[in-house]
Structure 1
Amino acid sequence: MNSYNNNSKRQVLSLYSRIIRLSKSWTAKEPKNTCIEREYILTEARNEFRKNIFETDQAKIKQLLDEGNKRVGIALHYGIPYDRPEYLPPSTSYDVDLKSKTFKQRKSKSAQWDNPTLIDRIRPFLRSFFSDLNIREEIIENFVLAVKEYKELHLDDIIFNSPARTVFPGRKNKLKNLCKLAIKKFEQLQMDPSDILYQNICLSMESEQEYFFSIFPLNFKQFSSPSNRQINYLVICQNIQNISKGTTGLCCWQASFALADFLFLSFSTNLLPYFSNAKYILELGAGCGLVGILLANQFYLNKNKEIKLILSDSDNFVLELLNKNIKLNFGNEIIEDNLIIESKYLDWNNFIPNDLPPADVIVASDIIYDPEIFPSLINLLKCLLSNNRSFFNSPIAIIACTIRNPETLNLFLELIASKGIKILQSWELRGEYLNEFPSKQQKEEELIPRFNSFFNLKDFSKTNFEPLFSPNLPLNYGYSLANNLEKIVIFEFCLK
């Protein structure tokens, strides 16, 4: 490595010095093996550095440095100096025979628990962990205590290394921070931190990340399975950045969580009875497809319901991700003979009214934010609500709006009223979140982070509805719903 830059040289020398220090201070789990393992560490380091001494490719040098630092991290936290063999699947726990230097994958306990007390206890942690959102400290502490109390179940192994999370990883920085907080909590409680946490910290440092996955389990007892996704859980792929490739549609925004939650409630409460008669549903500005995919999932469970869902957007990058999420959850666009879900390019500024698809119900979230697009958006809504090809005499539009600027919302409502569109009902999300305790309506098998309640702005009293998605929303503008700095309102529109 005689031609790499000074920065690389310093990093290589620093890593080599770190390994030398490690070999000198190394203590084996079995004291009689200390000298043998120290010699092994030194010998392996010398061989690797000599083998790559003339390497000049900066990318290769970086890869070698990353691998070296990862090996040191695993050695320190596992107390195992030997390399992890390639035949072991990634993100799995393993045991090692230090004498024979052989590895064996650890068999995790089944995730199909039948202990309702345990399920209720760790449910708050699981909701936020799988949906890839921040987890409050008290919830982490409760989970750590459950790991200790149910030690024989290897809860940390089952959850952090679950097949679903392995196949659909969350944000690496979130995982790393969560593991660090959990380790700190273990230490505060005078408990030995789990090896699984250190392993996941190492895995989170392996490479950069552009996309991540949020998982919303629908069946707790089967949440770890990577198969049967349309039955067991929803999975949504999102971009790490809120704004990427010139669009905001590559990630889920808070109003989409609220709308998906609200529509989920309508299926169990019959709050919106027209869904039972709808034949065509159109989503505007679908983005990642969370709302439409949730609706498709609910209709999928009703085998006798014939319906077509069209998820539309006007950005090609968004449509590409949207198609990916549809396939992730349902395989093909046509799931059953009676249920069709597909994506469609729809430009609000450039459309032919007669070419618009029929829609009994139009749904949309977080589209009321820019006054410049209001004329085009309202014109499109007027055409869709006037469409005589609808199965309904009067189509319905349901739009969720995050109120960041009240003046912007008021302008939209004034313009839409001037075009002959009226508000039938409206609901507001407000109040403190309830993350720990499911309501009486919740089934044991359901495992999804949830809002706590909706209020009808006219005459609807507080409901006992169970929300679907997370109380710890990724508030992209730094607002906090819990502190009432902004609100989410859901409107039901139709023609006057």
Structure 2
Amino acid sequence: MRCAERQPLAMCCWMEPSSDEVMDAVQAGLCDTFQRDFLCCRRIGSLPWKDLEHQLSIRPSFVLRILEQTINHPVSQKYPPSSQYRRLFLSELIKKHERTGAEPLDDIYTAFAEVLNSEDNTLCYKSYCLPTGDPVTLAENVAIISEGTTGLVTWEAALFLAEWAIENNGLFNNRTILELGSGIGLTGLVICRSCSPRRYTFSDSHQKVLQQLKENVLLNGFVLSEELSDTSKTPTTVVSVTELDWESVTEQELVALDADLVIASDVVYDPDILASFSKVVKKLFCCTKAGNKLEVIVASTIRNPETYSLFQTTLDDCGLSWQVLPDHKNNIFAYDKNCTVQILKLTFKV
């Protein structure tokens, strides 16, 4: 093999980037942050407005680049955040630009007029960008509690567990996974996209949640197993959505799921469901086929230390041991990093 020819000395010397190159790099990073935060509807006040103000004081036209990466981004155009969120975002963007004293830009005001004329809806879209740049898009309810459930929105522990799964993808690769209390599907969709499980079963017990969950699975390009025909090409990951009530599910039904990895996130917020969750996990361990090893991973946001302590006590009472797993290192998604989320690995005391 021929070695590369030695370059002239002048070409080998490291050259300090110009001020324009530095600014371009800073602005590219700021655009990426705004895009990720905007698409997943991160709280308006949490966006890096101070950094944007600084860049606009140098180059007022930079606001158009932010507009293109947010409101006019193809994902936003196809799956827009709520009208209210877009109005608040554009109001703040216009305010920052006006402070520069630069000439008004028609594109921003045109976008604002379009949002003002759009109809409010109970559903909105939130898109979470994977490390590959591909989005996972969810239709979510704009209200935290609706239809008598909190399961129609995405919570921090679901995002935390999704990030953890990406960093620990070997645990999920080629596994048959059952997710308990899937909600509208963020964690499972990220795992199916990033970790290549053999089979993934989303589950919940609330009919409205199940309906929205199925729609989100289809929205992200997956085909439900019951819709696969005999002539269909088997996908890399076989995906299904099933109704699973922790109180009434039988061991036979759990055996049929044949899971070797069970996951759950944000299922310990209510003391009233701790016992039923612990019992269904115990059932899963007890009905695992001989020779198979079951692993159970649970991510929880610790909102109330007393409730979380009760959860651990309930696990102990059901004969389940628990071990705190190390956190992941890389933050991928935009959410409140000040909340405390812990991941437990559960095992059955033989």
> Is TM more than 0.5 here?
yes
| Partner SS state of residue 132, structure 1 | coil
Deviations 1:329-361 (A, max 9, x none): 124225843311111000111111111122211
Partner of 1:283: 179
Partner of 1:243: 145
Q: How far, CA to CA, are the matches of 1:425 and 1:466 in structure 2?
A: 18
1:132-147 alignment runs, 5 A limit = 132-134=41-43, 135-141=47-53, 144=56
Q: How far, CA to CA, are the matches of 1:166 and 1:146 in structure 2?
A: 29
Shift of 1:142: 5.4
Runs of 4+ off more than 6 Å:
none
Kept after mapping to 2: 8 A contact 1:365/1:400? yes
In the alignment, structure 1 residue 122 sits paired with structure 2 residue 34: no
Q: How far, CA to CA, are the matches of 1:139 and 1:391 in structure 2?
A: 56
Shift of 1:193: 4.1
Partner of 2:127: 215
Partner of 1:487: 340
Kept after mapping to 2: 8 A contact 1:289/1:325? yes
Instruction: Note the aligned Cα RMSD (angstroms).
Output: 2.5
Kept after mapping to 1: 8 A contact 2:129/2:333? no
| Partner SS state of residue 466, structure 1 | coil
Partner of 1:442: none
Partner of 2:230: none
Shift of 1:468: 2.0
Partner of 2:101: 190
Shift of 1:425: 3.0
| Partner SS state of residue 195, structure 2 | helix
| Partner SS state of residue 172, structure 2 | helix
Q: How far, CA to CA, are the matches of 2:243 and 2:291 in structure 1?
A: 22
Partner of 1:261: 163
Closer, same or farther: CA 123–323 of 1 in aligned 2, 3 Å: same
Q: How far, CA to CA, are the matches of 1:199 and 1:372 in structure 2?
A: 50
| TM score, norm. by length of structure 2 | 0.81
Structure label with greater radius of gyration: 1
Q: How far, CA to CA, are the matches of 1:145 and 1:292 in structure 2?
A: 42
Q: How far, CA to CA, are the matches of 2:200 and 2:184 in structure 1?
A: 15
Q: How far, CA to CA, are the matches of 2:319 and 2:97 in structure 1?
A: 61
Partner of 1:353: 251
| TM score, norm. by length of structure 1 | 0.58
Q: How far, CA to CA, are the matches of 2:292 and 2:73 in structure 1?
A: 45
| Partner SS state of residue 238, structure 1 | strand
Q: How far, CA to CA, are the matches of 1:415 and 1:196 in structure 2?
A: 57
Amino acid at match of 1:425: V
Q: How far, CA to CA, are the matches of 1:421 and 1:400 in structure 2?
A: 16
How much identity, in percent, do the aligned residues show? 25
In the alignment, structure 1 residue 296 sits paired with structure 2 residue 192: yes
Shift of 1:263: 1.2
Shift of 1:308: 0.5
Q: How far, CA to CA, are the matches of 1:336 and 1:170 in structure 2?
A: 33
In the alignment, structure 1 residue 411 sits paired with structure 2 residue 310: yes
Closer, same or farther: CA 290–145 of 1 in aligned 2, 3 Å: farther
Amino acid at match of 1:494: T
Amino acid at match of 2:171: Y
Closer, same or farther: CA 383–139 of 1 in aligned 2, 3 Å: farther
Amino acid at match of 1:122: C
Deviations 1:213-266 (A, max 9, x none): 11123377xx6xxxxxxxx22111100011111111111112111111111221
Q: How far, CA to CA, are the matches of 1:195 and 1:333 in structure 2?
A: 45
Deviations 1:455-495 (A, max 9, x none): xxxxxxxx6x2122114x3xxxxxxx53xxx5211111111
Kept after mapping to 2: 8 A contact 1:265/1:467? no
Consecutive unaligned residues in structure 2, runs of 5 or more: 1-23, 226-232
- Equivalent in 190, 203, 207 of residue 312 of structure 1: 203
Q: How far, CA to CA, are the matches of 1:410 and 1:284 in structure 2?
A: 20
Q: How far, CA to CA, are the matches of 1:169 and 1:287 in structure 2?
A: 21
1:145-156 alignment runs, 5 A limit = 148=60, 154-156=65-67
Partner of 2:235: 337
Partner of 1:42: none
Shift of 1:324: 0.6
Shift of 1:283: 0.7
Q: How far, CA to CA, are the matches of 1:342 and 1:411 in structure 2?
A: 32
Aligned length: 313
Kept after mapping to 1: 8 A contact 2:154/2:184? yes
Amino acid at match of 1:165: S
Consecutive unaligned residues in structure 1, runs of 5 or more: 1-114, 224-231, 268-272, 301-305, 428-453, 455-462, 474-480
| Partner SS state of residue 287, structure 1 | coil
| Partner SS state of residue 250, structure 1 | coil
Kept after mapping to 1: 8 A contact 2:179/2:262? yes
